[in-house]
Structure 1
Amino acid sequence: MKMDNSPARGTRDLLPATVAVRDHVLAKITGVYHRYGYQRIETPALENIERLTGGQGGENEKLIYRVLRRGLDETVAADITLTDLVDLGLRYDLTVPLTRFYGNNQATLPQPFRSFQIGPVWRAERPQKGRYRQFYQCDIDMLGEESVLAEVELIEATTEALAATGLDGATVRVSDRRFLSALAAAAGLPEAAWGGLFITLDKLDKIGWDGVRAELPGRGLGGAAIDRLQESITSLQGGDPATLEKRLVAAVPNAPEEFVADLTATASALAALDGLTWEFDPTLVRGMGYYTGQIFEIVHPASSGSIAGGGRYDKLIGRSLGRDVPACGFSIGFERIIDILGGVAAGARVAVLYEADVPLTTVTGAARELRAGGDRAVSPIRRRGKFGAQLGRLEEWGFTSVVHLKGDAGDTPEERPLGGR
């Protein structure tokens, strides 16, 4: 029987030209994050299943790839449970592994600790355009900083990193879990029902107010409460950021003072950043259960979903360390960024194309000279067939220019661009 050589469903092989683009984008992001002082760490792909299923991953916990214990028999008894068979799982994000890392190593880390991670994660998604079962995330986190300096710096660094890749036209959306909780309490809902309200509010941009209002009675809200909820949210959408504090107090009188002060400070700092487009979005929820304060997303017209997201999670590290540590993080959806940018230039790449009668020392010397000047140079031999056809193939393979070496040439020929560049 012939073996199926296609990748596993929801995964992909990446050709050299595609990887070159990804490397180029990652280098731009990495350069910005390093300038802000974020230090790169690495964590294992495998985590203990108890940690991954601790109730903090929201819907993602349903998408975990579980790994069977070693040494299992080929068949198992009918009364064996999944817990008996599984002890590890593939990470579904980079935040949960980070909290374990910090708990184990915090005594040797600078405070606050600025962490930078890039790596693959796995979720048992239903494959579709822009959603894969194996994909890369790119995260920065600040651990140990109580003030909104963390939120502001994370937003500034991430938007600068995206701009460095060539992505423009993005908008930052900001909200706060404490605001959402105050909104639910003002509506008269018991805390156990807040999650359902948040799920419905998160759909507002997709189903509109008619759709949201149709769902809210099933969440335990009556007509008058629904009217007040809609009025509160509508009053906070758009508007001048300078009046945000006043509008927050008017819309949700029971909102914690700390939340209002924090959000006002963040708004003032973001308003001072040139070129940043941002808005307070009272319907922003974020799916992870571990968020405790401000949350944020970056959206772009070319993507149906957010291209980056994060927030404050002050309670999560305590599960590993035994005491709470203030923490805030921002994750770039690396695959979506690549999809939006498409064929972004990955830098110059020179083909030193040589005829068969050219001495090897001449070929390697020409390539060496180009590399010394900072170019990436490769030396393919001149093949039989039309010269123009080979140049076309070189361009398809990602080369940007060519140097053609002939046996009867004296000096090294000049470099010329491919494809009219």
Structure 2
Amino acid sequence: MKADNNPARGMRDLLPADVATRDHVLHAITTTYRTFGYQRIETPALEDIYRLQGGQGGENEKLIYQVLRRGLPETTETSEPIRDLVDLGLRFDLTVPLTRFYGNNHATLPTPFRSLQVGPVWRAERPQKGRYRQFYQCDIDMIGEPTVLAEAELIEATTAALAAVGLHTVTVRLSDRRFLSALATDAGLPADSWDRFFITLDKLDKIGWDGVRTELTDTGLPSEAITTALDKISSLREVPAEKLIDTLTSTVPSLPDTVIEDLAATSASLDRLAEQRPLQWEFDPTLVRGMGYYTGQIFEITHPEMSSSVAGGGRYDELIGRTLGKDVPACGFSIGFERIVGLLTDNIARNATAILVESDVAVADPLAIARNNRNEDRIVEVVRRSGKLGAQLKRLHAAGFTTFIPVSVEDGTVVVGDERTI
């Protein structure tokens, strides 16, 4: 049988050109975030399985790669529950590890704490275009800020980071979990059905309005309440920004004043931001976000060339309390790193220079020449001459070299030629 060269389906090897593009994107994003005061931290790939399966990760908890406990015998009883054999799992996002990190280190961190995380996460889902079992996330979070200063700044920082990468034509979609709860209440949906309602509504893009209505009906929810809820949501789509607050107040009477005030503040900030840079935003009553830990405003950023969002996040004021024993206000935004890289079709030029050395040149000489030409912004590599010059220059150009410096020996003297364009 032929060996499988890709046993980890959905996980990829990355060629140098791929990594160069990813490094370019990562540098642009993290440089922008640092100007807003976000500080880089790192958390382990493995987390306690009980924390990962704490009921706040939504559907992603079904996709956790679980790790067997050390010291298990070679065989176990077939009836032994899997949960008894597992104590760790690979993280499925960066938010759950951050809450543990903050709970353990909050005494030494400033308030508010602006966190920046970049790293791989793992989900055992079916691989498809743009979705992998191992992929990178890039997150910023503000912990300890109770007002929508956090939401407004996170949105501004993330749209600035996307602009730094070259994605200027973006739309910010805004909603609020508290709005969805109030809407469900006014529609007559029982409180114990809200999670089912939210999960089904989150599938709207995939199954459409009829599919949502059918799936909700199949769960046994009252048909009148389903109709009322969906009609309210439909009426709030594409409401002009200047009419948003009044329309929300009249459509969802039980919506608390604090939610209205928070949405008004974020809306005003987005309006001001849109005056200074190319940006569109909208209130989207169908926006849910899959994670169960969101407690307030939620948001996503879309790009016309992507069918799904390129970034998303929201407020999660109760998640840190699971570690710390008391709730701490927190809000975060995650960039879909792989999707952004996929939008950049052109490879990033290396602009490298080859010190092209004839075989009779001593090793120390080309190394010294390269050393004198190399700096922080210039890549210089020593390359031995081989084959026909024209063919070798083609290979160098394909590898990202833009210039070369020939080095040879004439009458016992090292001769360094002029730098030439490839």
TM-score > 0.5 by shorter chain: yes
Distance 1:2 1:206 in 2: 38
Q: What does 1:9-88 correspond to in 2, within 5 Å?
A: 9-88=9-88
Counterpart of 1:132 in structure 2: which amino acid? Y
Q: Is the CA contact 1:315–1:325 (under 8 Å) kept in the aligned structure 2?
A: yes
Q: Is the CA contact 2:408–2:416 (under 8 Å) kept in the aligned structure 1?
A: no
**CA apart distance, 1:411:** 5.3
* Identity fraction in percent: 62
Q: Which residue of 1 aligns with 2:399?
A: 397
Residues 260 and 396 of structure 1, relative CA distance in 2, 3 Å threshold:
same
Distance 2:213 2:309 in 1: 24
Which piece of structure 1 moves more, 217-226 or 162-171?
217-226
SS at match of 2:372: helix
Q: Which residue of 2 aligns with 1:326?
A: 329
Which piece of structure 1 moves more, 323-332 or 395-404?
395-404
Counterpart of 1:39 in structure 2: which amino acid? Q
Query: What are the superposed Cα offsets for residues 71-115 of structure 1, whole Å, 9 maximum, x if unpaired?
Result: 111111233211221111111111101000000000000111000
Q: What does 1:261-272 correspond to in 2, within 5 Å?
A: 261-272=261-272
Residues 253 and 346 of structure 1, relative CA distance in 2, 3 Å threshold:
farther
**CA apart distance, 1:396:** 2.5
Residues 373 and 231 of structure 1, relative CA distance in 2, 3 Å threshold:
closer
Q: Which residue of 2 aligns with 1:314?
A: 317
Q: What does 1:80-119 correspond to in 2, within 5 Å?
A: 80-119=80-119
Q: Which stretches in structure 2 are left out of the alignment for 5+ residues? A: none
Counterpart of 1:181 in structure 2: which amino acid? S
Query: What are the superposed Cα offsets for residues 9-57 of structure 1, whole Å, 9 maximum, x if unpaired?
Result: 1111111121111111111111011111111111111111110111011
Counterpart of 2:56 in structure 1: which amino acid? Q
Distance 2:391 2:346 in 1: 22
SS at match of 1:380: strand
Q: Which residue of 1 aligns with 2:290?
A: 287
**CA apart distance, 1:146:** 0.3
**CA apart distance, 1:209:** 2.9
**CA apart distance, 1:379:** 1.5
Q: Is the CA contact 1:114–1:141 (under 8 Å) kept in the aligned structure 2?
A: yes
Q: Which residue of 2 aligns with 1:363?
A: 366
**CA apart distance, 1:145:** 0.3
Residues 299 and 400 of structure 1, relative CA distance in 2, 3 Å threshold:
farther
Q: Is the CA contact 1:233–1:251 (under 8 Å) kept in the aligned structure 2?
A: no
Q: Which stretches in structure 1 are left out of the alignment for 5+ residues? A: none
Query: What are the superposed Cα offsets for residues 256-280 of structure 1, whole Å, 9 maximum, x if unpaired?
Result: 1111110110000011112222111
Distance 1:358 1:301 in 2: 55
Counterpart of 2:303 in structure 1: which amino acid? H
**CA apart distance, 1:233:** 2.1
Distance 2:340 2:61 in 1: 25
Distance 1:116 1:58 in 2: 23
Q: Is the CA contact 1:114–1:140 (under 8 Å) kept in the aligned structure 2?
A: yes
SS at match of 1:272: helix
Pairing 1:152–2:152 present: yes
**CA apart distance, 1:211:** 3.2
Query: What are the superposed Cα offsets for residues 224-274 of structure 1, whole Å, 9 maximum, x if unpaired?
Result: 544433442233222321221111112211111111110110000011112
Q: Is the CA contact 2:46–2:91 (under 8 Å) kept in the aligned structure 1?
A: yes
SS at match of 2:245: helix
Which piece of structure 1 moves more, 225-234 or 97-106?
225-234
Residues 352 and 207 of structure 1, relative CA distance in 2, 3 Å threshold:
same
Q: Is the CA contact 1:154–1:330 (under 8 Å) kept in the aligned structure 2?
A: yes
Distance 2:91 2:295 in 1: 22
Pairing 1:338–2:341 present: yes
Residues 190 and 360 of structure 1, relative CA distance in 2, 3 Å threshold:
same
Which piece of structure 1 moves more, 322-331 or 301-310?
301-310
Q: Is the CA contact 2:103–2:324 (under 8 Å) kept in the aligned structure 1?
A: yes
Q: Which residue of 2 aligns with 1:240?
A: 240
Pairing 1:383–2:377 present: no
Q: Is the CA contact 2:119–2:136 (under 8 Å) kept in the aligned structure 1?
A: yes
SS at match of 1:162: helix
Distance 1:296 1:26 in 2: 22
Residues 219 and 372 of structure 1, relative CA distance in 2, 3 Å threshold:
same
